[in-house]
Structure 1
Amino acid sequence: MKTVRRLLHGEILRAVGFVLVGFLALFLFFDVVDELQNLAQLASQGYKLHHALLFVAFKTPSHIYELMPISVLIGCIFVMARLAQSSEFTILRTGGLAPLKALSTLLQLGLVFVFMTFLIGDYVAPWADRQGVLVKAPFQGNLTVGRTGAWLKERQDKRHFAVNVRSFDGIRRMQNVRIHEFNEDGQLLAIISAPQADFGEGQWLLQQAEETSLKNNAADNTTRYQLREHAQLAWPTGISADMVTAAVLSPERMRTWELFNYMRHLSNNNQNAQRYEIEFWRKVFYPLSCLVMLVMALPFAYVHFRSGQISGHVFGGVLVGISFALLNNLFGHAGNLQNWQPWLTAAAPSLIYSAISLMGFWWMVLRR
């Protein structure tokens, strides 16, 4: 069985790599075309061709993460269909390769694809995205949300904070920061404003900060204001750069652990975390979809092919992969709008296609 395993794994790895490189070249071509338009717009700020190409290169890991399941499906369908057409798989079956043994052999390779997808999506892609932002941010300007910026909430003991960040460069520097401090009764205690702030270890370093304290005098029912200026003020907080990025941008590029921390931060501050919970569970289940794709491809090895039929089945595999991506996005938006259970919303596409795969495997392999 070691020889059979080496044969199947080697053929599938080569086919998946070929399909992945083809898709990746197509996506990167579209990225280069888009960046050529940005190149014309940002040329006056010093944005050159090598900056654009470097920015496109840093988007490669994200594309690999998105394309891995569909590449696994198409590559495995091609290998299974080719082995069936040349009767090689029939010889393997005659030599003792039972259907369940073939399935377990593919799933062993699938675990490698799952690990690669998780590693790229959770570590390589977020790092590359940050480097891409670092390349383009000096020429494009800061990241903003509307006219009011991004709003975040935090609770520290008996105090509540409402934090406003007008713009953020996506790495470490924020502009026009305002921090409003409240007590448990909702009374405003202080306002801190700073034109610039940087992230420190468990704190924000506010530059040229102005702190306005409000003290209520119960005796004469008056409020006293005290203004203090700081060249640099350290404000302890658990709000990280990734949380600010998630408030400014979509959370798809956050790591799983960082997304979990931000989701918990929103829940602790009584904010709606539905969207981030769905995205968290999608990042958990998405690498496992590689196993689903392999199970869907196995029945093609038991089909009797004629000459020229492989291309049609590979095209069908492309359609199935596209339908899986569309269904995944559809469930994500529908679950967010309808307030569905987050883990079930994220797992539903994989569960549906797993059921279809197992039914196809049972019908084509075990019954026929």
Structure 2
Amino acid sequence: MEQPTDDTAARHVPVLLARCLELLAPALGNPGAVMVDSTLGMGGHTEGVLRAFPQARVVGLDRDPQALELASRRLAPFGDRFTAVHAVYDEVRAVLDGLGIDLVQGVLMDLGVSSLQLDEAERGFSYAHDAPLDMRMDPSTGPTAADVLATYDEQQLVRVLRTYGEERFAPRIARAVVRERSRRPLTRTSELVDVVRASIPAAARAQGGHPAKRTFQALRIEVNGELDALARALPASVEALAVGGRIVVEAYQSLEDKLVKRELAVGATSSAPAGLPVEPADHAPYLRLLTRGAELAGPDEVATNPRAQSVRLRAAERLRATPTHLLPGRTSSRGAAA
């Protein structure tokens, strides 16, 4: 197999690749198996899947046009076994319908900001480099982080920082942003870092990493609607799985992981009323959890790939079709065939 000709593989080391492949193997080893890589990024996980399962096909989704271009170059040697689609992962059903695919055997989600977005300083995702305050995963559409800081009132900013950044100094930071923007617009990451640093007491700045980390996380999630999209994408992805299909999700912060944990737990729990002598078949669990809680990266992986340090991996297998667990507006069951 021809090797990638650019530096994409060197720039992106997929997190917990071997474990992801192990979890997906029972579902992807058969001819005709299809996996959706919901967060294609630079294609590291998809390349691993295509190499490990030579009869499988991957549909790769990403909202970032630059990521799609780089991944498509990297994965070109696999020909029509790989299909790239410019889409957010909550559009998975529409994407599959457009490709004439009813059900898939695997779904992989590697959540959060990608290596590409962090490494490209001008995208504005990093508090470590001065750049325009953008933070859009798809730079062609939607408001930027600068727009949020310029237009949200103080209480809206507090809500964003508290909810998405779990920032205990949210009121101080929001107040400082409003005060600063009355003098001049905040348009650069360095300007926001200075505002945040000045808003946090010195004792707190000495703990817990970079003082702007939570603020940047919160703004990124707000700009890209990440948690809302994830809340829609998880049930849609489960519905797209054939019986025997598997979903593997890697989350990097607690808000994402809580959504994943809840969605998988719902599917793995009987919905029958308590006290029934016999569980009705359509109330039986439709998922089987494949991990005990969230799995973490080991010290060896963290040493070679520091971005694995905060990963939380969860996985589940589709046990049965779920005619009573339909997406809004859908009237037919899914998951009925392997």
- Which is greater in Rg? 1
User: Taking structure 1 as the reference length, what is the TM-score of the superposition?
Assistant: 0.26
Quick check: which one's helix share is greater? Answer: 1
Quick check: which one's strand share is greater? Answer: 1
User: Taking structure 2 as the reference length, what is the TM-score of the superposition?
Assistant: 0.28
